[in-house]
Structure 1
């Protein structure tokens, strides 16, 4: 894993990498929160937030894509300094340093092909469908425990673009439903020109809505980064810059009340 991260850094590095201070963020592709690292104009709104906040302190942000399990390990081992899209309820990341305030909020749902009769109506309703999920993702204890039951038809995929694989499996009827964040699924499906889907219900438990963070290495530098980011995002919100960045990805500030008009893509 060390040589993979090192190679990615070398490939993406420019002369500016030799600046006095550089902060490496790692994650898999999870648009619109964090997208492909080589898309400089649209790297994901959480990446743009970090770039804007840390640039004010003379810190250059470098973002690399890794499979989620490797991204978590790279931050735990200090190979990267920040994990994008971390949650407080993930046992693999609880030792990291989290900002006081979130950098986003995900809304996990079941998604399936349009026209199917199935709707989520409790765990018992899952017995009739084949579930698609992403390896090493946390979906909350209720759903995670259910999917861990032997012989439950769950198909997990990995890699740095796992949702694309799951959508292709849904299209080919190899699975029936996908568990994913609403905004991430909509964004990825649009990029694949896949419109024949509909939302089939929220996942069970309180983790249907979960705060998202960029979590940092458990050391003094990580604590400094967390404080700078937390304060910086608050300042961006106050200046209207947060709303400006999120509008670029057709999103609204997660702290604003959700209205029917702002969620018209349901």
Structure 2
């Protein structure tokens, strides 16, 4: 590591609050495989492993807790949790949340449908009269969220949405492309459920920290260490363990970095 970068990191860490340095950070998330999720009570996922490694290098211990997404955001807003994993940058949250400058990854919201009940959907308007399964508290973009041409029906989990699709209770579901592909394999419905090519929305997701003293310095230190880690083979190795080909996710993050103001 260049001496100047190491010095900057040390100075940033020196600015952190005693709580961040002396106690565990409590981070929350919902199950969002393959980015972050629980399996047999063990936290796993691409962004979970990357975040854990970055905090390890910063000398900060992290406690993870999984809960529904709306509760995750409420816990951070109320100061009951120190941060939330894989959150979008939303202007309304700026008063109580600090984002890292570097995105963790990028999501692409796409639609899934049953192969035996296909719908010709090439644009959002083609969803007219249909029911689309969603997840509570998720932001799919204003055009999708506010359209009155079709019905949105929330389910308690991403797995539940796939179950509703198979039982013909919804016409389609919306989720991130990698999440959908993971769940098709995990639930054994790859032959029954197909992914549509239309991208409803594309967003970068970040580590969001509760706005408390010292957290801006922590966000900056995390960003600098994450950028260094991304230059190492160990970073790509984490991605390949979950999705096989690291180039897809790495290219998406690099593209987002080039278009995101610093």
TM-score range, shorter chain: 0.7 to 0.9
Q: Displaced runs of 4+ in structure 1, greater than 3 A?
A: 37-40, 89-95
Q: TM-score when scaled to structure 2?
A: 0.80
- What SS does the corresponding residue of 1:74 show, helix, strand or coil? helix
Q: Provide the rounded CA distance (Å) in 2 between the counterparts of 1:154 and 1:111.
A: 14
* Unmatched 5+ stretches in structure 2: 1-20, 254-262
Q: Cα offset for 1:123?
A: 3.1
Superposed displacement of residue 252, structure 1: 2.2
Question: For 1:129-162, what per-residue CA distance to the aligned partner results, in whole angstroms no more than 9, with x for missing partners?
Answer: 211001110000100111xx3x84221123xxx1
- Spell out, residue by residue over 1:93-139, the C-alpha distance to the aligned partner (whole angstroms, 9 max, x if none): 67411111101000110111124431323333111421100111000
C-alpha distance in 1, partners of 2:182/2:132? 20
Match of 2:12 in 1: none
Distance (Å, rounded) in 2 between the aligned partners of 1:131 and 1:118: 12
- Whole-angstrom distance in 1 between the partners of 2:32 and 2:91: 17
Output the CA distance in 2 between the equivalents of 1:201 and 1:119: 11
Equivalent of 1:247 in 237, 240, 246: 240
Q: In 2, distance between residues paired with 1:109 and 1:96?
A: 27
Superposed displacement of residue 201, structure 1: 3.3
Helix, strand or coil for the counterpart of 1:139?
coil
Q: How many residue pairs get matched? A: 230
Give the C-alpha shift of residue 200 in structure 1: 1.8
Structure 1, unpaired ranges of 5+: 1-18, 259-266
Superposition pairs of residues 4-43 of structure 1, within 5 angstroms: 20-36=22-38, 39-40=41-42, 43=44
**Which residue does 2:198 correspond to in 1?**
202
* RMSD of aligned Cα (Å): 2.2
SS state at 1:209 partner = strand
1:1-266 mapped onto 2 (5 Å cutoff): 20-36=22-38, 39-40=41-42, 43-89=44-90, 91-92=92-93, 95-146=96-147, 149=148, 152-158=150-156, 162-195=157-190, 196-204=192-200, 208-250=201-243, 252=246, 254-256=249-251
Considering fraction of residues, name the structure with more helix: 2
Shift of 1:80: 1.0
Take 1:257 and 1:105, find their aligned partners in 2: how far apart are those partners?
6
Secondary structure in 1 matching 2:206: strand
Distance 1:75 1:257 in 2: 27
Moved more, 180-189 or 223-232: 223-232
> Distance between the aligned counterparts of 1:102 and 1:185, measured in 2?
21
Which secondary structure state, in structure 1, belongs to the residue aligned with residue 28 of structure 2? strand
- Equivalent residue, structure 2, for 1:6: none
User: Higher mean Cα deviation, 24-33 or 91-100?
Assistant: 91-100
**In structure 1, what is the Cα distance between the partners aligned to 2:167 and 2:27?**
34
Contact 1:86–1:93 at 8 Å: present in 2 too? no
Contact 1:143 1:203 in 2 (8 A): no
